[in-house]
Amino acid sequence: MLAVVCPGQGAQSPGMLSPWLELPGSAATLAGYSEAAGTDLTRLGTTADAATIRDTAVAQPLIVATSLLSLGAVLDGADPAAVAGVTAGHSVGELAAVAIAGVLPAADALRLVGERGRAMAEAAAATPTGMSAVVGGDPDDVGVVLARHGLTPANVNGGGQVVAAGTLEQLAALAADPPARARVIPLEVAGAFHTEHMAPAVERVRAVAASLSPAQPRVALLSNADGAAVTDGADALARIVAQVARPVRWDRCCDTMLAMGVTGVLELAPGGVLTGLARRTLKGVEALALKSPDDLDAARDLVRRHGGLE
């Protein structure tokens, strides 16, 4: 069984869309995504610098658009439901996953993520906050230390990785007093996502979600909330709205993939992070990161062997 997974914020890099736009039809598709998201994704994905695309309002639609554009290149018109047994996205990647599952058309997913990015950027601007990865250490000890510093385990990723989120002062205290045998790595994100600091963004995202008409998933769609396969489109959107201010349990998504019998994982562009996690948490499962069109042949081979693409 093939799992198609979609990366989250922080995966972006300057110029990442340039090679994809050399493919036939990609420029027109991206223009449509830009109109839906309310931002010029072509410029942002080709000529904007690292500081510009670090902005949450920019990074979120840019990553979702890149994921969907890269999947379209892999499948070349094939229906995702014909090849993928399951899909999931990490944090904002879940907006790409709902489009892959057929819950929303791509344009609606881009419209929703555009507002999500803007709302979360404004919430992040209210208080200087951020996130740091905590790698290694005893899980119980990590939890105790994060609680001592008033930090939230915003992403529980499995493979010995937890992402702590909170104010910059709290993160500085964590860096000075880390859990035993753990490394603390500051992340290139602009706020404490998936925590109470994002609460002001929730209603804005909910208002846009309420204007959409979700369909039932055609591909098993795993929720960041608990790793469960969501069977109702309205429930999928409700979970995505709540996810803005609640922790991401990617570890539980991985547990569900194993239980479902996933044998291959394709991480869409701008891939890399989730493939690295998969190699530590999904033992025996073949994983491939789709980083550029140079990877298309390998991606199609993976899909053919695990998803039946002919």
Locate tokens 């907006």: which residue?
95
Q: How far apart are the first and last CA of the chain?
A: 15
Find the helix packing angle between 233-243 and 93-100, rounded to 10°.
Answer: 170
**Contact by Cβ (8 Å): 264, 290:** no
**Contact by Cβ (8 Å): 112, 104:** yes
Q: Which helix (H) or strand (E) holds 133?
A: strand 129-136
Cβ-count burial 156-175 (b if 16+ within 10 Å, e if not): bbbbbbbbbbbbeebbebbe
| 188 half-sphere exposure, CB direction, 13 A CA radius | 13
**Contact by Cβ (8 Å): 181, 91:** no
> Rounded to an integer, what distance in angstroms lies between the CA atom of residue 265 and that of residue 285?
7
Determine which one of 26, 34, 91, 132 is catalytic. 91
194 catalytic, yes or no?
yes
292 catalytic, yes or no?
no
**Contact by Cβ (8 Å): 11, 272:** yes
Determine which one of 90, 149, 194, 306 is catalytic. 194
- In DSSP terms, 133 is beta-bridged to 163, 185
> Rounded to an integer, what distance in angstroms lies between the CA atom of residue 45 and that of residue 37?
14
Catalytic positions, please?
91, 194
